[in-house]
Homo-oligomer: A and B are copies of this chain.
Amino acid sequence: MKIMVINPNTSESMTRHMEEVLKKIKRSDTELYVCGLEKGPFTLESSYDKALAVPHILPLVRRANKEAYDAVVIAAFCDPGLSAAREISGIPVFGLEESTLHVAAQLGARFTILSMTDSHVAHKYAEVRDYGLSSFLASVRPLGLTVAETDANPIRTKKLGMEVARRAVEEDHAEVIVLGCAGMAGYSREMEEQLGITVLDPSTITLKFCEAMVDAGVRHSKRGLYAVPPEKEYL
């Protein structure tokens, strides 16, 4: 199967890093194409950033449909343009946040999302509510680090992530941790061992979920919410 993974920002290093990670875990029969945006924001940290990224994501989704891909993954933990992408796509489109949260909901009573900075917290609460999954949410806890700080000091990031996750377990009754921040990618297994609870890395979970859904022949409904947009003039 052919899967297009879209890193919905203009950071080439992030795109290359994602490609490396996902190529290691993909099924042997999966042909993976990981791409980033040529135009748009360098990272996604606000509704504003998402709004500017989406118009550059959608042509890639169209291309995936034309070039006979089997599915698309939009690979940021805020699912930019997911609904619009599904409208213009006949092949399934999955988002890291939506898919991972639906998995997390099956693995324990309640999950905590680790996010980067304080400014993400309100967004994550809103997104979980919009996904109809608030009853599974223990808390959103920020690391208080920017992406840059995370990259500069991975050891400190891992240590901090562990501390924040531990507080989520003890104070918020979290049973599952979702690594909703790019800087934590790759630490899930180590954290699981030390914390003794389930820790999910969204990009791994979503790629595996996507492969399975392609394998099962699943497509999103083209009636209602994701119906093909009516034709019209676009200036």
Contact = CB atoms under 8 A, between A and B. Distances in A.
Interface residues of A, number: 88
Given A41-B232, A197-B221, 6 more contacts: A106-B220, A122-B175, A169-B223, A173-B224, A189-B217, A209-B212
Contact of A196 (B50, B54, B103, B222): B222
B126 A135 contact: no
B48 A51 contact: no
A109 B87 contact: no
B169 A84 contact: no
Contacts of A109: 122, 125-126, 224-225
Given A41-B233, A42-B233, A215-B27, A223 B197 contact: yes
Interface in A133-175: 133-136, 146, 169, 173, 175
A176 to B, nearest CB: 5
Contact of A42 (B213, B221, B234): B234
A73 interface: no
A2 interface: no
25 contacts: A40-B234, A40-B235, A41-B235, A47-B83, A47-B84, A47-B229, A49-B229, A52-B55, A52-B234, A98-B106, A103-B213, A103-B218, A105-B132, A108-B221, A109-B122, A109-B224, A132-B135, A196-B223, A197-B221, A198-B219, A205-B216, A208-B212, A209-B212, A211-B212, A212-B212
Contacts of A27: 215
Copies in the complex: 6
Contacts of A107: 92, 218-221
A31 interface: no
Nearest to A92: B107
Interface of A: 10, 25, 27, 37-43, 45-52, 54-55, 58, 81, 83-84, 87-88, 92, 94, 98-99, 102-103, 105-110, 119, 121-123, 125-126, 129-130, 132-136, 146, 169, 173, 175-176, 189, 192, 196-198, 200, 204-205, 208-209, 211-213, 215-227, 229-230, 232-235
